[in-house]
Amino acid sequence: MTSATLKPLILSPEATATHCPYCAFQCGMTLSGDGDGDVAIAGNAAFPVNRGALCVKGWTAAATLGHPERLTTPLVRDNDGALREGSWDEALDRVVSAFRSVQERHGNDAVGIFGGGSLTNEKSYLLGKFARVALRTANIDYNGRFCMSSAAAAGIRSFGIDRGLPFPVADIARAEVVFLMGDNPAETMPPLMQYFDEQRAHGGRLVVADPRLTPTAQRADLHLRLIPGTDAALVNGLLHILIRDGMVDVEYLAERTEGFDRVKAEVTTYWPERVERITGVPEAELTRAAHLLGTAKSAMILTGRGAEQQSQGVNNVSACINLALALGLVGKANSGYGCLTGQGNGQGGREHGQKADQLPGYRRIDDPAARRHVAAVWGVDEASLPGPGKSAYELLDCLGRPDTDESKGVRALLVMGSNVAVSAPHLNNVAERLGALDFLVVCDFFLSETAALADVVLPSAQWAEEAGTMTNLEGRVIRRRKACDPPAGVRDDVAVICELARRLGKGRHFEYGSVEEIFEELGRASAGGPADYSGISYSKIDANDGVFWPCPDAGHPGTPRLFTDGFPTASGRARMFPVRHGEPAETPDENYPLFLTTGRNLSQYQSGTQTRRITELTEISREPLAEVHPSTARRYSLRDGDAVRLATRRGQADFRLKVTRGIREDTVFVPFHWGGRQAANRLTNPALDPTSRMPEFKVCAARIESVTDVHCQA
């Protein structure tokens, strides 16, 4: 089943320049081999983003390539319920016949697709096209919905476009003040910190808002330790002080924005004493933060998942955008608002059509002009394109449910590049729904927790074995270059999608001579859309260390900085929206007296499918630790290292305790990279933001249920 006989990797001694498989920083690295299976990784000093630096995940990334648990043959589930090895023909036939049978009985939308924010642009594009052209299902969404969707929705409604950072990361180093809300790059993206270090060395100031004293917050000049779920109140409070003290940019507001009067009326009620009561941040700290921002000649406001992964994530980001606009920062040098995207291709993955409501080029699927344009590129009848489908959690929640007049369940699901059995909220429900499916097929390179539940598992090629493009957190399109062949028996996802389409009778729409041809078609499909890639080519990327979109024609140099002249909105002005603080979907009460918040740590990545299999990384963090304050530990008579069971209204999970002064007394933090009994997402709340459909990963009510002898291994 796995690769006990995996041959050594054959890599040329000549270095291949590519990028790290993990986060959105997409560090440039080179791979070379000695012919005996040893792979040398080096940071690529010539790539201008990481400038040679890598974090521990990047340095150890090659360990997944020749890993003994690597899947090298398709797996099919037998009548006795066990997974066994099968041929590609058998596995693909099973998939096609299951999809056909489900669609005949329940309609096209009864087959769903769940993609991922780590897939290349070409795969994201192809998966969206496969859903709409080969399966003609509306139901495709992806795990990026759990990642950047709140920032994306807020960005689109205010700026008319969503590009995580509308400026290169190098601008951070030249900003006088950076206000970082709910992000911890010192652990999640360590090479990014070189720009913060440079900024500090130039005399700049860093303000961090986070319920935890994270390694990033430890480097800040000012740490605002807010109560989880009070982000919008905090930011409204800062804007209140800035207006009160005459520090907003009146001229900029008049010339470049609309809606300030309504925002001003709303924040009038966020006087500092009230904001201190809501957020737990002392009035003096609020004033200091506001004045740092208000007196700076250049400043940036950056958000991460802490503010975004809430049922009010869009409001939280909108409050930050209001602040940036009121200070006249957006579109000015070394200033602005940005979101630090998380997943490897979190940016590109949300642009090319694997979202339920979207066509390539960041077009809306319900826009008639967009449908016409994309249908023409795909050579299909515009009327044949489905409409919007269900968002990620709603898609998972409908799996295997019976058809009713109001809604129809999805009966067969293809998962590519995602491990929803660890990464989705309210896992007990998700596991039940996956179990209710008629058919589940998973493409992965390891037997992930989701793959282990599948009827068919298709072994995928990995990052260093495939070609394509990624779009980093700056909107810079870069090349993922192939450094070696996949192991015998493994196929590239691109080939799998095209072969499935052929077997479904739609092969003529999926005939490509190379991955570059897919990229060229993606460019044509995106032409004229918000994320216009039509002027980008592989050779142009090679010649320029990447190209920033939008890039609408071959002669266009790309757009490193957005909004310098205006905004792509109807009026050309940025739109401001009043934001009212509301409580999270759950707050502590006598049964569940603590806040629970979740996040990432230094040595693991997302659901841990790759990183939990790398010895050097598991030695750094062997298991998830639940962080509590010493006074909380005393209240429960707990000590550092004790095993505890945490419980919420949705389930229980077991962790070892880490007692630290770096967390609020009312809050527990757990990282979410593990599955089984140690899965943080057994606890999290699937309450959704009404606009972005982002689940509330970052806030729910929990209790420490018992000290347990249950051993904590997943």
Query: Tokens 């040679």 map to which residue?
Result: 52
Q: Is 191 in the site for ligand SF4 (CB under 6 A)?
A: yes
| Cα 58 to Cα 70: distance, rounded to the nearest angstrom | 19
H-only helix segments in 225-282: 231-244, 250-256, 260-267, 272-279
61/292 with CB nearer ligand SF4: 61
SS3 state at 610: coil
Q: Tell me which stretch binds ligand SF4 (CB under 6 A): 156-164, 184-192, 276-284, 353-361.
A: 184-192
Phi-psi group of 384: left, alpha or beta (phi > 0 → left; psi -120 to 50 → alpha; rest → beta): alpha
CB atoms within 10 A of CB 280: 17
If binding is defined by CB under 6 A, does position 653 make contact with ligand SF4? no
- 49 touches ligand SF4 (CB under 6 A): no
Of the pair 53, 699, the CB lying nearest ligand SF4 is at 53
Nearest residue to ligand SF4, by Cβ distance, number only: 58
Please report whether residue 27 would count as binding ligand SF4 according to CB under 6 A. yes
DSSP sequence for 207-219: EEE-SB--HHHHT
Question: Helix H segments across 335-423?
Answer: 368-378, 392-397, 420-423
Least distance to ligand SF4, CB of residue 58, Å? 2
Among positions 25, 393, 463, 595, the unique one binding ligand SF4 when judged by CB under 6 A:
25
Stretch that binds ligand SF4, among 1-9, 185-193, 293-301, 484-492 (CB under 6 A): 185-193
CB of 522 to ligand SF4, least distance (A): 23
Q: Residues 525-564: x/- map of binding to ligand SF4 (CB under 6 A)?
A: ----------------------------------------
For ligand SF4, which is the closer residue by CB, 25 or 378?
Answer: 25
Residue 57 sits in the site that holds ligand SF4 (CB under 6 A): yes
Please, which residue, 25 or 260, has the CB nearer to ligand SF4?
25
What sign does the dihedral 162-167-172-175 (CA atoms) show? negative
The verdict on 189 binding ligand SF4 (CB under 6 A) reads: yes
> CB under 8 Å to 505, separation ≥6 — which residues?
none
Q: Which is nearer to ligand SF4, 25 or 672 (CB)?
A: 25
Q: How many residues bind ligand SF4 (CB under 6 A)?
A: 14
Q: Please give the single-letter amino acid code of residue 267.
A: V
165 φψ region: left (φ > 0), alpha (ψ -120 to 50), beta (else): beta
CA dist 590 to 229, 484, 574, 636, 708, Å?
19, 57, 44, 15, 22
390 belongs to the binding site for ligand SF4 (CB under 6 A): no
Please count the other Cβ atoms lying within 10 Å of the Cβ belonging to residue 502: 17
Least distance to ligand SF4 from the beta carbon of 59, Å?
A: 7
Part in contact with ligand SF4 (CB under 6 A); list of ranges 24-32, 249-257, 456-464, 656-664: 24-32
Binding-site member from 6, 18, 22, 560 for ligand SF4 (CB under 6 A)? 22
Q: Are 308 and 316 in contact (CB under 8 A)?
A: yes
Q: Does 362 bind ligand SF4 (CB under 6 A)?
A: no
Nearer to ligand SF4, 23 or 356 (CB): 23
Find the shortest distance in angstroms from Cβ 40 to ligand SF4.
15
For residue 148, what are its two tokens?
A: 């950047």
Task: Please spell the DSSP secondary structure of 481-498, one letter per residue.
Answer: ---SPPPTT-B-HHHHHH
User: CA quadruple 13, 123, 411, 428: dihedral positive or negative?
Assistant: positive
Stretch touching ligand SF4 by CB under 6 A, among 82-90, 137-145, 186-194, 585-593: 186-194
Residues engaged in binding ligand SF4 (CB under 6 A): 20, 22-23, 25-27, 50, 54-55, 57-58, 189-191
